[in-house]
Amino acid sequence: MENEKSNDVLHVVMFPFFAFGHISPFVQLANKLASHDVKVSFFTASGNASRVKSMLNSAPTTHIVPLTIPQVEGLPPGAESTAELTPVTAELLKVGLDLMQPQIRTLLTHLKPHFVLFDFAQEWLPKMADELGIKTVFYSVFVALSTAFLTCPARVPEPKKYPTLEDMKKPPPGFPNTSITSVKTFEARDFLYIFKSFHGGPTVYDRVLSGLKGCSAILAKTCSQMEGPYIEYVKAQFNKPVFLVGPVVPDPPSGKLEERWSSWLNKFEAGTVIYCSFGSETFLKDEQIKELALGLEQTGLPFFLVLNFPANVDFSVELNRALPEGFLERVKDKGIIHSGWVQQQHILAHSSVGCYVCHAGFSSVIEALVNDCQVVMLPQKGDQFLNAKLVSGDMKAGVEVNRRDEDGYFGKEDIKEAVEMVMVEIDKQPGKLIRENQKKWKEFLLNKDIQCKFIEDLVQEMMAMAKVSST
């Protein structure tokens, strides 16, 4: 590796946490930066390198730097991303990251980039980089609302005096006046996770706050059109530059949709099929699967349901236990239930697909909007609860499934009502307004001039901060 720091080539290191929900947005941004002649060194655990390579666009200025995770008691050998671990053992990846500081220091000393774009778990990085004369950017892969509601200084006004469940149901002091005035009990309970310490390490809140306070600038995967009030609140809370990369619209997929799926989808009228998926690391409980499946059936619309289960279980056995007796026979002509990876972007882009029922991961929401799909959200954890409120409340571009306050229970009627609001009752409010707004956001997201300007502005702001001359 050569030190290529110069006055005319902006060099950034990308260093996401070892979870593909974090790695993917870093890769998307790396590809956008590379297209603007930015040199990118992408740090990831060696076990993730081949998958990251397949996601990165081939560019002479982009290269992967494989990292070695030190041995951590309890962390299975070779497990180098959260996809291979349970939520409990995944916490040990943060311990591994903390032990990598000497390795990272050596690499940064050698590479001498202008910036390191880092993630929530590496709160020690700003101090290290500062000692080496390198600027740092905390790249939040979550919407600004998530930072504003959960991880700003106002949330914990007194050190280590963490909030109660009741505190977490309300926004922090000074929060902007928007549609988000409270959250449900089961959501607030989930948020309390960020104040827990695992293996004697810092809490997520403390890691995030330390990283945000220590960095040279904050980079948010959002834009003022979607989140103006929350961006201004974050700026006021941290009193430092907040760069915006925009919502980072994915490039259209290459290749074709598998014949077995395209031939099935071709049987149905345009915009009538419901596609339903919650990502590879979300495993629904039996009761949730049953109510979800029955709710989709009761809409009377064709549906493509993707369900995932832990790696060590048998899909057919789990499915037979969770689904009502006779369900698969009843829906065989208009319903597919599949487990495992599918070409999601290709499916959403198919003309017959008109609705996407998802966990409200923001990348999933963006994929739905750009592919002209109505968004029905059933968030499962963390920032997904806030994403759903942003999209349904502020943007009014989707509908959130109704849930019970205490435990988040939903029934088949809740699924049916949410889908029908945007797929059947299209001339009634609020379905009509949601569909109109979905079209407006689609036009905004697909405006290449707007989306390209986000990256151009970001590169110019980073060049100015690093005092790199433009060529």
Distance between CA atoms of residues 333 and 352, nearest Å:
15
| DSSP percent split of the chain into helix, strand, coil, nearest 5 | 45, 15, 40
* DSSP per position, 216-236: SEEEESS-HHHHHHHHHHHHH
Of 210, 220, 204, the C-alpha closest to 93 is 204
Please list, in sequence order, all residues whose beta carbon lies within 8 angstroms of the beta carbon of residue 327, skipping any fewer than 6 positions away.
Answer: 293, 294, 297
Of 150, 22, 7, the C-alpha closest to 81 is 22
469 residue type, one letter: S
Q: Are 359 and 427 in contact (CB under 8 A)?
A: no
Candidates 11, 98, 119, 346; catalytic one: 119
22 belongs to the catalytic site:
yes
Please list, in sequence order, all residues whose beta carbon lies within 8 angstroms of the beta carbon of residue 255, skipping any fewer than 6 positions away.
Answer: 343, 346
Number of C-beta neighbours around residue 127 at 10 A: 11
Q: Are 379 and 385 in contact (CB under 8 A)?
A: yes
Q: At 355, is the secondary structure helix, strand, or coil?
A: strand
Going from the C-alpha of 446 to that of each of 221, 250, 274, the distances in angstroms are 16, 10, 22
119 belongs to the catalytic site:
yes
Distance between CA atoms of residues 390 and 228, nearest Å:
12
> Counting Cβ atoms within 10 Å, is residue 185 exposed (0-12), middle (13-18) or buried (19+)?
middle
Of 246, 322, 250, the C-alpha closest to 284 is 322
Q: Are 134 and 116 in contact (CB under 8 A)?
A: yes
Q: Which residue has the tokens 């032990």?
A: 99
Candidates 11, 22, 346, 359; catalytic one: 22
432: DSSP letter = H
Catalytic residues: 22, 119
